């Protein structure tokens, strides 16, 4: 009497050999294991195979060549007989390196399969991520990358410039390749294909109303660092002051400070959250907003004291190897030290999922301090209320014209001329240019 079987979540039939067998094996390995019988029709009746030994060799080869990571340690095959017909009996255990996937498709829904009841179906991205976390833990950089077709043109260039080898053995040591021989998310961050980005914008004034420039940088995070640093540098103007006979030149932002705040943003970002790092340049400050907040158990006070707690320790190690990071835990101390001589300081704002560092523009605030001192001096000179209004206009304008005074204070041409002449007599302002190009600016003191 014929033996009739029924397909289930852990049992499937194939009438004959086909490459589709690999999807079923992947699904079993990613779910609860299962048994695949080749030589059984959909009704559960044995039809047998003409050359079961040849078919078994083909199956072994197609599984070995097309499934990643290697699944063969969890697969056993034998030739069996049902109702006098020879079939291939394939047992698959649940693997320990889920998700298993088709080599040609990668760790994506079209390459990863699971079992649902008696069907083999594509896994959702959510299911894939869950498998990755269950296998590798929760640290983003050590998880298997969803994308496995990666190249490292830019990263290899940075390693070459430092005379550091970047072959397969080094990639394994650094953590770009995991124990399952697949690329990790660290590899994705350093790859040319990296889609995590830094968005850069510059604005007119001190708020986000009018753009000067917008850009978004992708690719290797090392290249992103270089690109955003160059973007900031275009706005890092040189200002001059005098100490006796000597001129002192200062950039708006110390280069070391920009370097440190960008390195911190890249090294400590939570890449598991799909939000870009935001770098915003204003007239008076630079803001760098990074998603992720602080690691559990570490406070802002700890960070300011120099406590080193990297969310992405493998990435931090790469930065250290490339001499981009000199020592662990010194970033915030370096940033604050560069502002020791000023009464304005960088600020750090923290929420559960984000951290924002604001760097004051040294030359901007130095000038504001000078203006404040001049205003104090002017008040001693008994300026009238209207004269004081004119002086306040210099807080947002280096130079003004008579026409601007008329419009801003809503006075006549004659009154504006009289106010400006009075300020000239008191030595508060001076003329720049003549005729139609005549403007006024505050006197040095």
pLDDT digits (tens, 9 = 90+) for 153-178: 999 999 999 999 999 999 999 999 98
pLDDT number for residue 1: 38
What does DSSP assign to residue 285?
E
Are the CB atoms for 205 and 212 separated by under 8 Å?
A: no
What is the H or E stretch that residue 265 is in?
A: helix 255-268
Distances (CA, A) of 414 to 43, 202, 385, 392, 406: 103, 40, 17, 20, 9
Full set of structural domains in the chain with CATH: 11-136 (3.30.950.30), 140-190 (no CATH), 198-309+319-361 (3.30.565.60), 381-442 (1.10.10.10)
Contact partners, residue 220, CB within 8 Å, separation at least 6: 152, 154, 155, 189, 190, 191, 192, 194
pLDDT number for residue 335: 87
User: Structure tokens of 107?
Assistant: 């760790």
Q: Whole-number mean pLDDT of the chain?
A: 87
Are the CB atoms for 9 and 3 separated by under 8 Å?
A: no
- More confident: 301 or 289: 289
Give φ, ψ of 265 to 5 degrees.
Answer: -65, -40
Residue 412: is its pLDDT beyond 90?
A: yes
What is the H or E stretch that residue 199 is in?
A: strand 198-204
10-27 mean pLDDT: 94
Q: Which of 85-94, 225-234, 331-340 has the lowest mean pLDDT?
A: 331-340
User: Structure tokens of 382?
Assistant: 């008994």
- More confident: 411 or 310: 411
pLDDT number for residue 327: 59
């Amino acid at each position: 009497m014929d033996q009739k079987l029924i397909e289930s979540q852990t049992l499937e039939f194939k009438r004959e050999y086909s490459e589709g067998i690999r999807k079923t094996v992947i699904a079993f390995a990613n779910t609860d294991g299962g048994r695949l019988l080749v030589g059984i029709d959909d009704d559960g009746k044995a039809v047998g195979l003409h050359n079961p030994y040849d078919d078994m060799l083909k199956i072994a080869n197609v599984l070995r060549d097309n499934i990643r990571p290697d699944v063969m340690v969890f697969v056993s095959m034998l030739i069996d007989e049902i109702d006098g017909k020879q079939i291939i009996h394939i047992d698959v255990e649940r693997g320990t390196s889920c998700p298993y996937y088709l080599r040609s498709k990668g760790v994506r829904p079209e390459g990863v399969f699971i079992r649902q009841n008696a069907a083999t179906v594509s896994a959702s991205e959510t299911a894939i991520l869950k498998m990755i976390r269950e296998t590798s833990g929760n640290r983003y950089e050590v998880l298997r990358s969803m994308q496995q077709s990666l190249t490292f043109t830019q990263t290899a260039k940075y390693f070459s410039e430092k005379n550091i080898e970047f072959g397969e053995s080094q990639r394994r040591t650094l953590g770009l390749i995991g124990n399952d021989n697949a690329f990790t998310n660290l590899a994705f961050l350093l790859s040319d294909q990296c889609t995590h980005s830094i968005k850069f914008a510059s604005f007119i004034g001190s708020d986000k109303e009018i753009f000067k420039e917008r850009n978004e940088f992708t690719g290797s995070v090392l290249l992103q660092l270089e690109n955003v640093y160059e973007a900031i540098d275009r706005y890092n103007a040189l200002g001059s002051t005098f100490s006796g006979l000597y001129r002192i030149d200062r950039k708006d932002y110390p280069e070391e400070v920009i370097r440190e705040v960008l390195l911190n943003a890249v090294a400590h970002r939570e890449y598991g959250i799909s939000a870009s790092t935001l770098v915003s340049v204003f007239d008076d400050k630079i803001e760098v907003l990074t998603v992720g907040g602080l690691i559990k158990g570490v406070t802002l006070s700890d960070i300011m004291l120099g406590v080193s707690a990297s969310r992405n320790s493998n990435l931090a190690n790469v930065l250290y190897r490339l001499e981009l990071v000199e020592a662990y835990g010194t970033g915030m101390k370096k940033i604050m030290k560069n502002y020791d001589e000023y009464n304005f300081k960088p600020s750090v704002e923290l929420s559960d999922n984000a951290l924002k560092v604001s760097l004051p523009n040294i030359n901007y605030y130095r000038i504001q301090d000078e203006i404040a001192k001049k205003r104090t001096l002017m008040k001693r000179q008994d300026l009238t209320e209207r004269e004081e209004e004119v002086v306040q206009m210099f807080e947002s304008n280096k130079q003004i014209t008579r026409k601007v005074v008329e419009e801003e204070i809503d006075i006549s041409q004659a009154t504006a001329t009289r106010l400006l002449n009075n300020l000239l007599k008191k030595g508060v302002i001076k003329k720049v240019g003549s005729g139609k190009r005549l403007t006024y600016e505050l006197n040095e003191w």
